[in-house]
């Protein structure tokens, strides 16, 4: 390991050095998350996150339910729901003239519940 002075900032190493074995191992693994940011992009919008959270609390909601929960238009709710569906967060089914949405699978529900639990812990500090 070679070292050289780089910074005196408290959030940065004071010398530059790295563990070649760890770096090589992780360089071969980090590509595994390619594309995963789309999931976080979908949930990174406050409105879409509220929709997804509502769908963790109720198994299924129609577009009109979601619009009323959000206090938005049906068009706005529908726009966000289409994006959530396109990104694999939600799925839909049509029943007559109504379209019902639910989470695509329990993994999404788990991600939201774990994130909410983590956020509550951060706020409590």
Residue-wise pLDDT for 9-58, tens only, equals 778 888 888 999 999 999 999 999 999 999 999 999 999 999 999 999 99
* DSSP of 10-24: TTS-SB----HHHHH
**Residue among 69, 63, 52 nearest 110 (CA):** 52
Handedness of CA 85, 90, 92, 97 (dihedral sign): negative
What is the spatial distance between Cα 115 and Cα 44, in angstroms, rounded to a whole number? 12
Structure pTM? 0.84
**Per-residue pLDDT at 16:** 86
Residue-wise pLDDT for 83-112, tens only, equals 999 999 999 999 999 999 999 999 999 999
In the chain the domains, ranked by start, together with CATH numbers, are: 38-124 (1.10.10.10)
**Per-residue pLDDT at 4:** 55
**Between 61 and 17, residue with greater pLDDT:** 61
């Amino acid at each position: 390991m070679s070292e050289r002075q780089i910074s005196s900032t408290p959030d940065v190493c004071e010398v530059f050095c790295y563990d070649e074995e760890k770096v090589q191992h992780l360089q071969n693994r980090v590509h595994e998350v390619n594309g995963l940011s789309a999931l976080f992009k979908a949930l990174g919008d406050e409105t879409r996150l509220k929709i997804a959270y509502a769908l963790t609390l109720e198994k299924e909601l129609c577009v009109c339910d979601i619009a009323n929960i959000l206090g938005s238009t049906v068009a706005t709710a529908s726009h966000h729901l289409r994006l959530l569906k396109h990104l694999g967060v939600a799925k839909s089914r049509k029943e007559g003239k109504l379209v019902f949405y639910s989470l695509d699978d329990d993994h999404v529900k788990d991600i939201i519940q774990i994130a909410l639990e983590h956020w509550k812990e951060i706020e409590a500090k």
